[in-house]
Structure 1
């Protein structure tokens, strides 16, 4: 894989056949992350839903299968094309997809009753977080629920040349709390199909694997709600 920082990542290359990975990127496990799937089953999301940084669209498709209307927004054209094909193959017309930069997302002011960010936040450059949160706040309806699943600090070794911009709970609360009322932040695993880390092939990560062999990285699940007093 070509060496680059997460902040300069070619996301289309990450999703393209013959790109950086042999097969799908490791964060695409072929279904929603378990903690997000649990939320969908519990009825936590109300239509319309914004799936921020939707990737291959597994969260959007699961939401549509559960009867929700959802818009997935993703930077990679390749990932959006994949998601649209999957929606058509599964007959899930409630799921639509838009290619674009979520940090400059517009045209849907006050539309979404729910927002889900499944492993996008840590993929953003730190200096893009403000623009991202402003875009999501603008798109969210009054009282909208907002869920973020993000890597916790320490999920990846410090010596990695390119790794996600992980957060601790304080950092996450401070960033999101400027725009939304934070209800809770709690530990939650993030599964990935990882055998070895780029540049560190002999490093054994101290995390358990699930029954399918997927590595369980430490993360946080945040739930927040749009506040009318938040920064617009």
Structure 2
């Protein structure tokens, strides 16, 4: 049963003017079967949290701990974190010209499992995963994200999620750039992952529309590098109606 524990996490990034603190003491525990949504204004550090958990070299951890099932994630390389069970669906998936979706997926699965999947079985699984994302089987022969529409990129990310089946999925604004049909398809894929019951999800979003399809157990408000409050799904409705202004003002007073 997966448990991701983040305790007093501090992170900085190098700028032309020197180190800049971004995360200022983040505490969060995601247990198996739980879906946590993080909402907050632009520039509050939500994506920094996602990329720090994944091991992006741009971000330097200056304090705190992150463990997955008791194992120190921060001491691991990015590929080791993936093998340990972390998955990041990126806000802006990168293009990988010359590498087909089929080869990319099989290489990733082999790296995570430690052995290559059987071709016949794997081909069937890939075809089914793509079909569930409304992607034709020929999609597997295209170069990763090259020439993909915004919706295709995000649906491909969720196909990866289903095939790689991590312990904890971090979804960084997976809903951005999606029309209503693509949003529904993506949400259905995430819900299939959640329904396994022994997986955790950290969903980062600006808007409540995806939360109409994916029901969070906890909604956190993230301002100026840390959590300022949390609540149930009703908190997302409050944010939709009133915005973040009162939380931003409160954070300034506290600072």
Q: TM-score range by the shorter chain?
A: 0.3 to 0.5
* Higher RCO (Cα < 8 Å, 6 or more apart): 2
Instruction: Report which of the two structures shows the higher radius of gyration computed on alpha carbons.
Output: 2
More strand by share: 2
TM-score (norm 1): 0.36
More helix by share: 2
TM-score (norm 2): 0.34
